[in-house]
Amino acid sequence: MAAALATTDSNPTTQLNSEESQIFSVIWLDTTKKDLFLYPDVQKNLRFTIDCIETFEQSDQCENYIRQSTEKSLHIVIVGEKLGHVFIPVIHHFSQVFTIYIYENSNQSGKDTSLTKKYSKVKILSSTTRYLVLKISFFFLR
């Protein structure tokens, strides 16, 4: 289901199809609690592509989970835009963080691109969970 990756190359796009197998998971951090359960189909749709989905309501628990995961674990992190300004600088350098998607459930989403410019692992700013699911699924299906 997940692609094989090597951890020696710093460019994630060139890591695909390597011999060393990695375990992918999606981590969704939402401290407001509203978005984790607002879209019941999101986890179901993501499970077509990826087996492990973890949700967190507290950033320190999420950070600890990432820190304690093995080097063979690669995480796709989904975080809200407001929390992202604080949380992304903390986790961006972790080797277990493969990519970070920013989700903001508001009409103002996508206006602030400072995180995508400053941090190479931050890929998109999205105001729809459907778009996030499509982007994550597309990555694994290519």
All domains of the chain, ordered by start, with CATH?
Answer: 12-141 (3.40.50.2300)
Instruction: State both tokens at 114.
Output: 């400072």
Taking alpha carbons only, the member of 107, 102, 105 closest to residue 125 is: 102
pLDDT over 50 (residue 1): no
Q: What is the pLDDT of residue 38?
A: 54
The number of beta carbons lying within 10 Å of the beta carbon of residue 101 is 21
Q: From CA 21, how far away is CA 2, in angstroms rounded? A: 9
Beta carbons within 8 Å of 114's beta carbon, 6+ residues apart = none
State the Cα torsion 120-15-104-137 to the nearest 10°.
Answer: 160
Give the residues across from 100 on adjacent strands.
Answer: 77, 122
pLDDT over 90 (residue 15): no
Q: What is the pLDDT of residues 85-100, one digit of tens each?
A: 899 999 999 999 999 9
Q: What is the pLDDT of residues 63-83, one digit of tens each?
A: 999 999 988 889 999 988 788
**What's this model's pTM, rounded to 2 decimal places?**
0.75
Q: Please give the single-letter amino acid code of residue 87.
A: F
Residue where the block lists tokens 């999101």: 42
DSSP 3-state assignment of 135? helix
